[in-house]
Chains A and B, each alone.
Chain A
Amino acid sequence: KSKEAEIKRINKELANIRSKFKGDKALDGYSKKKYVCKLLFIFLLGHDIDFGHMEAVNLLSSNRYTEKQIGYLFISVLVNSNSELIRLINNAIKNDLASRNPTFMGLALHCIANVGSREMAEAFAGEIPKILVAGDTMDSAKQSAALCLLRLYRTSPHLVPTGDWASRVVHLLNDQHLGVVTAATSLITTLAQKNPEEFKTSVSLAVSRLSRIVTSASTDLQDYTYYFVPAPWLSVKLLRLLQCYPPPGEEIRPAVRGRLTECLETILNKAQEPPKSKKVQHSNAKNAVLFEAISLIIHHDSEPNLLVRACNQLGQFLQHRETNLRYLALESMCALASSEFSHEAVKTHIETVIAALKTERDVSVRQRAVDLLYAMCDRSNAQQIVAEMLSYLETADYSIREEIVLKVAILAEKYAVDYTWYVDTILNLIRIAGDYVSEEVWYRVIQIVINRDDVQGYAAKTVFESLQAPACHENLVKVGGYILGEFGNLIAGDPRSSPLVQFNLLHSKFHLCSVPTRALLLSTYIKFVNLFPEVKPTIQDVLRSDSQLRNADAELQQRAVEYLRLSTVASTDILATVLEEMPPFPERESSILAKLKKKKGPGTVMGLEEGKRERGPDINGGPEPAPASATSTPSPSADLLGLGAVPPAPAGPPPSSGGLLVDVFSDSPSAVAPLAPGSEDNFARQGPCLPPTPDPGPVSIPCSEQNLGPPVQCKVTLPWFVCKNNGVLFENQLLQIGLKSEFRQNLGRMFIFYGNKTSTQFLNFTPTLICSDDLQTHLSLQTKPVDPTVDGGAQVQQVVNIECVSDFTEAPVLNIQFRYGGTFQNVSVKLPITLNKFFQPTEMASQDFFQRWKQLSSPQQEVQNIFKAKHPMDTEITKAKIIGFGSALLEEVDPNPANFVGAGIIHTRTTQIGCLLRLEPNLQAQMYRLTLRTSKETVSQRLCALLSEQF
C-alpha cells in the first residue's frame, strides 16, 4: 500500500478517535483503552500524537488490569519526563504502590523506572528503598524496586541519599534468588561508584558469590545457566562491581584477594577448555565473562602474571575467525598496552595488528587496529608504526582519516629522535591526506620548526622541494609559505633555490589559494623584503598590482596597502626589527593531543606521556584539556599558534625613535599584525608597537612613610572576609569597625563604619590606609579624611575607592589613631581587599573547562595545595564559599561529583587573567586538595593561598 494511503487512513482514524474523546458521551474504560491503544500503535508507526494523554492517565486509576496496563504503557512510551501530567501520574502510581497488589505494584515500579523523571525521584525516592528491604516483599518486587531505585539515582543522585538501607542492600548479594542478586548488583555497583566507603563490604561478598558461580557445574544454577555458562550476566556484573574498588589489600584481606585471584585464573583457564557447545551463544556468554575479567585485571594492574596471561589470551583472539572477537581483542589490548607489566607483551603482536589494518574488511575493526597501534607505540617501534599508518592512510576510510592524521602527527612528534624525520612525516601527511590535516597539525609543525634551530634549514629545503609538485595541497602552501618566510634565507645560497626562485614558486600557487592562505603569503612576501632586499622591487610590484591593492577582500587589500607602505617608508633597521624572525614559542602541550581527545571524547585517549596509567586517587582528573586564555577574545584566528595563552606581554619599549613608526602603526593599529598567519596577537609579541604601559593613574593612598607604633590590637580577620564582603572587621571595648564592600571588574568600593561604643567622644580620630611601596604599584586606594570627632554612641562612615592595577599579594593596613579620655589609642587591622575580590565568574561547559584546564598545564601556571580540613566538610558550605570567593561554581563538570570546580576571570587595570580551580575533598582523610590554574603564576599562588584558608 502506498504511503499516502497509509497517511490518509491514519488521519481518518485519528479524527475518529479525537471525536470519540471529545464526544458528549462519556467513554467506558474499555473503549478508552481501545482508543489509547490505537493511538499508541499509530505513534509507534512513526506518526506524531498530540492528544490522548489525559485519557491514558485516566486509565491508570482503573481497577482493571488490562486498562491500567495500557495506560502505563502509553505513558512510558509517550510521556517525556518533563510533562505537565507528571503530577497526575504520580498520584496514580502512589495509589498502586500502596495497593499491596503485587501486579499493580509491578506496573507502578515499571512506570517509575521508564519515565524516571526528577519529579518522580522527588516523589518516590523515599518509598522505594523501603519496598526493597522490607522482609515481606516478594522477590520479583524486590528486583523491580532495586532497578527502579537505580534509575532514579541515575536521574537525580542527590534525591536518593543512601541511608541505613545501604547495608541491607549490600546483603542482597547473599540472597538465594539469583534474580534478586542480579538486580541488586547493578544497584550496588552504581551506588558504590559514588560512595565507595559505604559499600565496601560488598567486595568480599561479591568475591565469594563470584567464586561460587565460576566453580559451579553448569547445571547447578538451573535456569540461570545460559548455554552451559553459569549465570553470565551476574558474573559480568559482579566483576564490574569489583572494578569500583582497588584490589583487596594483600595484608588486610589476604583471603579475599586469594579467592579473587583464583576466580580470575579459573575464568582464564576455562577459556582454554574445549567449548561445551558449538552454539555462538555459548562462546559469547563465556567470553563476555572473560573480557570482563580481563577488564578487572587491567583495572587492578597489580598482578603481572594475570596481565600477561590476559595478553596471551587476547593474542589468540586476534586471529580468531569471529570478527566480534577480533574487534574486542583489539579493543581490550589497547588498555593492556598502557600497563607497564604488559606493554612489552602487547608489542609482540605488532605484526598481527598491522595485518589486521590491511586485511580486515570491516572499518570498525580497522579503527580498533589503528587505536591499538597508537597505544602500543613507543620509541622502539615508532618508525615502523608511523610508516604503516601513513601507508594505510592512502586507502583509509574517509570517516577515520582525520583521526589517523592526528595520531600520526602526535606519534611523529613524540618519538622523533631527529626532527628531520618529523618534518618528513608531517609533509607526507599533508601530501597523502591534506584535506584531513587540521590547523592544529600544521600549526604544530611550525611551532616545532621555529623552536629548533637544527631542523630549520632542513625544513626550508624540504618544503621547497615539496612545493615543486605541480599540484600541491593548500596546507602545504601554508606551511611552505610560513617556513620560507622565516627561514628561506637558509637555502637561498643555492642558485636552484635563490630568493627569486623561492618567490616565484610561492607566487605561482598564490592564485589557486583561498583568502586566508593568500593573506599568509602576503606576510611571507613582506618577510622576503626584509630577508632578500634584492627581490623587494618584484614584491612591491606584486603588492602594487590592482589584484592586490583593490582586492575585494578587505583583509587582503589592507595587507597589501600596509605592506607596500611599510616596504617603502621603513628603513632597513626598522624593517629588520618589525619583520624579525619569530621568537621561539613557549613550550606547551601539543594542541593536537587536545584535539584528538576532543574528537574521541575525554578519557578514551590515553595521553601517551602518561606512559603507564596513573590510577592514583585523583583519576577524577580524567579528561583534561586546556587553558583559559579567557582574556583574549577567541576570534578564530587569534589563537593560531596558541599565542593566546601567552601571558600578556609586558609592554615593549615605548615607540621612542622615528615618528615614522608611530605614524605607520598608530593610524591602523590592528592592521599591521599579520606577520604570522593572520593573527594580531602574533604581532603583539614582536614588541615595538604595543600601547605604552598605562600611566600610573591618580596618586593613590600613600603613607607607608608614616611610621606607626606597634599596633595595639590587630585581629587577623582577613580569612573571614575572603569569601564575604560585609561584616565586622574589628571590635574591642571602645570601637567597632564594620565593613560593606562591593566589587565590579577591577574596581571596588568599600564602606568602613567606625562605631564609638562608649559614651565619650573620640578626639583626633584619624584612620589611615597604609600600602607598602610595592602594594601601591598594584593597588590604588582613594578616600577622604573623616571628621576627627566621633561622638559617644555615634557612627561615622568612610568610603574607599579601590582599583586593582595588577595582581597583588599583600593586604593594605587600616590604622586608626584617636584619643579616648586621656589616652592615646592606636589600632591596626588588615583591610580585607584580596585579589579574589576582582573575580568575575565565568560559566562554561565541561568540555571548555577541560580544554582550558589542559592548556594551562605548564608548571608555573598550576599551584596545588593539599591540606587538612579546618572546618567540617560540608558540601553546601563549600559551594557557598567557592561562590563567595568570586568564581563560578561549575556543576557537572568534574567526573567525580564530590569535587568542586570553578572558573572566573580576575580583572585588573592592565590585564584579565583566566582562572580555573578545582577542589577535591577526601572525607576519610579529612583533607582537601586544591588546584589552581591561571595564566599567571603569581595569581595562581595567591588565589591558592587565599582559598586554602577557607576550608
Chain B
Amino acid sequence: PYPLPFPQMRFMLLFSRQGKLRLQKWYLATSDKERKKMVRELMQVVLARKPKMCSFLEWRDLKVVYKRYASLYFCCAIEGQDNELITLELIHRYVELLDKYFGSVCELDIIFNFEKAYFILDEFLMGGDVQDTSKKSVLKAIEQADLLQEEGPRVSHPRQISFVPCF
C-alpha cells in the first residue's frame, strides 16, 4: 500500500572537459537517438556549471549527480527519490577502484583501456545497483579475470589502435 516509485539509476556518463564522451552506461533501455540527444544536452548543462555549485541538479524528470575529477566529469542520473549523497560517494568509490587498478588513473588510462573501465564498473554496479561496495571484492574479481586473460594468446590491447586522436 505504500508505493514509492522505486528509484533507480538511469545512466552513468564519463566525459571530458572538452565534451568528449569517455564512457556511457545505460541502465534503462534507451534508443540510440535518444541517448545521443540526452548526452549532448546533459554535457552542455554540466559543463556550464561553475566550480562552487552544488553537485546535484534537476534535469528533465531526473536528478543528476556529478563530480569532476581532474579533466573528467563523472555523472549519474538517478530518480528523484534516490539518495543524492550516496550516489556522489558511489562515483567516488568507482574512481577509487579505477585508481587502484590503474595506479593513479588518468583520462588516458580510460581511453586506452576502456574495456577495463567497463569491466570494473560492471563488477561494481549491476543494473544500476551496487553489487559490492568492498574495494577488495571488486578488485579481486577483476584480477581473477586478468589472470584468465594471461593464459590466452598474447593480449591485444586497443593500445594497438594507433589512430586514437590524442588530445
Q: Which A residues are closer than 8 A to B by beta carbons?
A: 1, 5-6, 9-10, 13, 30, 33-34, 37-38, 40-41, 44, 46, 64-67, 69-70, 73, 76-77, 80-82, 103, 106, 109-110, 113-114, 116-117, 140, 143-144, 147-148, 150-151, 154-155, 178-179, 182-183, 186, 189-190, 193-194, 196, 223-224, 226, 231-234, 236, 240, 243-246, 281, 284-285, 287-288, 291-292, 299, 323-324, 326-328, 361-362, 364-365, 367, 601, 603-604, 615, 617-620, 622, 895-896
Cα(A73)–Cα(B113), bound, Å = 13
Closest to B157 in A: A37
Closest to B53 in A: A362
Cα(A524)–Cα(B57), bound, Å = 46
Given contacts A147-B126, A151-B126, A193-B4, contact A64 B152 (CB under 8 A): yes
Cα(A116)–Cα(B25), bound, Å = 13
Report the minimum CB–CB distance from B103 to chain A (whole Å): 20
Between A67, A76, A147, A148, the greatest number of chain B beta carbons within 10 A of the residue's beta carbon is seen for: A147
A-B pairs, top 6 by smallest CB distance, nearest first, are A151-B127, A288-B85, A288-B86, A179-B132, A323-B54, A147-B126
A364 touches B53 (CB 8 A): yes
Q: Restricting to B70-101, which residues have a CB under 8 Å from any CB of A?
A: 80, 83-86, 88-90, 92-93
A116 touches B29 (CB 8 A): yes
Given contacts A81-B29, A143-B132, contact A37 B156 (CB under 8 A): yes
A196 touches B83 (CB 8 A): no
List 7 additional contacts besides A41-B114, A147-B126, A190-B6; criterion CB under 8 Å. Answer: A40-B115, A65-B148, A65-B151, A232-B89, A233-B130, A327-B56, A617-B1
Report the minimum CB–CB distance from A387 to chain B (whole Å): 26
A364 touches B88 (CB 8 A): no
Q: Restricting to B10-36, which residues have a CB under 8 Å from any CB of A?
A: 20-24, 27, 29, 31-32
Contacts of B24 in A (CB 8 A): 44, 77
CB < 8 Å neighbour of A9 from B4, B29, B163: B163
Contacts of A226 in B (CB 8 A): 89, 93, 133
Between B27, B53, B83, B88, the greatest number of chain A beta carbons within 10 A of the residue's beta carbon is seen for: B83
Interface residues as binary, B49-67 with A (CB distance below 8 Å gives 1, 0 otherwise):
0101111111001000000
- Tell me if B137 is interfacial: C-beta within 8 Å of chain A: yes
Given contacts A193-B4, A281-B89, A364-B54, contact A183 B29 (CB under 8 A): no
A143 touches B131 (CB 8 A): yes
B2 touches A33 (CB 8 A): no
CB < 8 Å neighbour of B31 from A41, A80, A193: A80
A103 touches B148 (CB 8 A): yes
Contacts of B84 in A (CB 8 A): 288, 291, 324, 328
Cα(A120)–Cα(B140), bound, Å = 28
Interface residues as binary, B101-130 with A (CB distance below 8 Å gives 1, 0 otherwise):
000000000000011001100100011011
Between B89, B122, B127, the greatest number of chain A beta carbons within 10 A of the residue's beta carbon is seen for: B127
Closest to B36 in A: A46
Cα(A244)–Cα(B2), bound, Å = 6
A193 touches B131 (CB 8 A): no
Closest to B166 in A: A1
Closest to A104 in B: B148
Cα(A148)–Cα(B129), bound, Å = 10
CB < 8 Å neighbour of A116 from B52, B118, B127: B127
Report the minimum CB–CB distance from A112 to chain B (whole Å): 9
B145 touches A196 (CB 8 A): no
B131 touches A179 (CB 8 A): yes
Given contacts A44-B114, A69-B145, A226-B133, contact A292 B83 (CB under 8 A): yes
Report the minimum CB–CB distance from A214 to chain B (whole Å): 15
CB < 8 Å neighbour of A324 from B55, B90, B114, B164: B55
Cα(A183)–Cα(B124), bound, Å = 11
B52 touches A361 (CB 8 A): yes
A223 touches B129 (CB 8 A): no
Given contacts A183-B131, A224-B133, A236-B83, contact A326 B54 (CB under 8 A): yes
Closest to B23 in A: A44
B115 touches A73 (CB 8 A): yes
Closest to B60 in A: A601
A288 touches B130 (CB 8 A): no
Report the minimum CB–CB distance from A420 to chain B (whole Å): 36
Closest to A149 in B: B127
Closest to B93 in A: A226
A365 touches B156 (CB 8 A): no
Closest to B7 in A: A240
Q: Which B residues are closer than 8 A to A by beta carbons?
A: 1-8, 20-24, 27, 29, 31-32, 50, 52-58, 61, 80, 83-86, 88-90, 92-93, 114-115, 118-119, 122, 126-127, 129-137, 141, 144-145, 148-149, 151-153, 155-156, 158, 160-161, 163-166
Report the minimum CB–CB distance from A725 to chain B (whole Å): 36
Contacts of B20 in A (CB 8 A): 46
Between A1, A66, A618, the greatest number of chain B beta carbons within 10 A of the residue's beta carbon is seen for: A66
- List 20 A–B pairs whose Cβ atoms lie within 8 Å, in order of A's numbering: A6-B163, A40-B114, A41-B158, A65-B148, A143-B126, A143-B131, A147-B131, A151-B127, A154-B8, A193-B3, A233-B130, A236-B83, A240-B83, A243-B4, A324-B54, A324-B55, A328-B85, A361-B53, A364-B54, A622-B3
Closest to B31 in A: A80
Cα(A113)–Cα(B127), bound, Å = 6
Given contacts A147-B127, A223-B136, contact A73 B118 (CB under 8 A): yes
Contacts of A326 in B (CB 8 A): 54
Report the minimum CB–CB distance from A109 to chain B (whole Å): 8
A66 touches B149 (CB 8 A): yes
CB < 8 Å neighbour of B137 from A140, A284, A604: A140
Cα(A709)–Cα(B61), bound, Å = 67
A179 touches B134 (CB 8 A): yes
Report the minimum CB–CB distance from A445 to chain B (whole Å): 29
Cα(A196)–Cα(B6), bound, Å = 13
CB < 8 Å neighbour of A1 from B1, B114, B153, B165: B165
CB < 8 Å neighbour of B122 from A110, A285, A292: A110
Report the minimum CB–CB distance from B115 to chain A (whole Å): 6
B156 touches A30 (CB 8 A): yes
Closest to A10 in B: B163
Cα(A33)–Cα(B85), bound, Å = 39
A114 touches B122 (CB 8 A): yes
Contacts of A284 in B (CB 8 A): 85-86, 88-89, 92
Closest to A328 in B: B84
Given contacts A37-B115, A140-B137, contact A895 B3 (CB under 8 A): yes
Cα(A73)–Cα(B145), bound, Å = 14
Cα(A324)–Cα(B85), bound, Å = 8
Report the minimum CB–CB distance from B162 to chain A (whole Å): 9
B21 touches A44 (CB 8 A): yes
Given contacts A64-B152, A69-B145, A284-B89, contact A182 B130 (CB under 8 A): yes
Cα(A66)–Cα(B149), bound, Å = 6
Contacts of A33 in B (CB 8 A): 156
Between B20, B133, B137, the greatest number of chain A beta carbons within 10 A of the residue's beta carbon is seen for: B133
B134 touches A224 (CB 8 A): yes
Contacts of B160 in A (CB 8 A): 34
Closest to B57 in A: A364
Given contacts A288-B83, A361-B53, A364-B58, contact A196 B89 (CB under 8 A): no
Given contacts A69-B119, A288-B85, A327-B54, contact A182 B156 (CB under 8 A): no
Report the minimum CB–CB distance from B18 to chain A (whole Å): 12
Cα(A850)–Cα(B2), bound, Å = 19
Contacts of B164 in A (CB 8 A): 41
Contacts of B114 in A (CB 8 A): 40-41, 44
Cα(A231)–Cα(B1), bound, Å = 29
Contacts of B156 in A (CB 8 A): 30, 33-34, 37
Cα(A69)–Cα(B152), bound, Å = 12
B133 touches A179 (CB 8 A): yes
Report the minimum CB–CB distance from B125 to chain A (whole Å): 9
Given contacts A113-B127, A178-B134, A327-B54, contact A38 B4 (CB under 8 A): no
A73 touches B129 (CB 8 A): no
B133 touches A233 (CB 8 A): yes
Given contacts A30-B153, A196-B1, contact A233 B131 (CB under 8 A): no
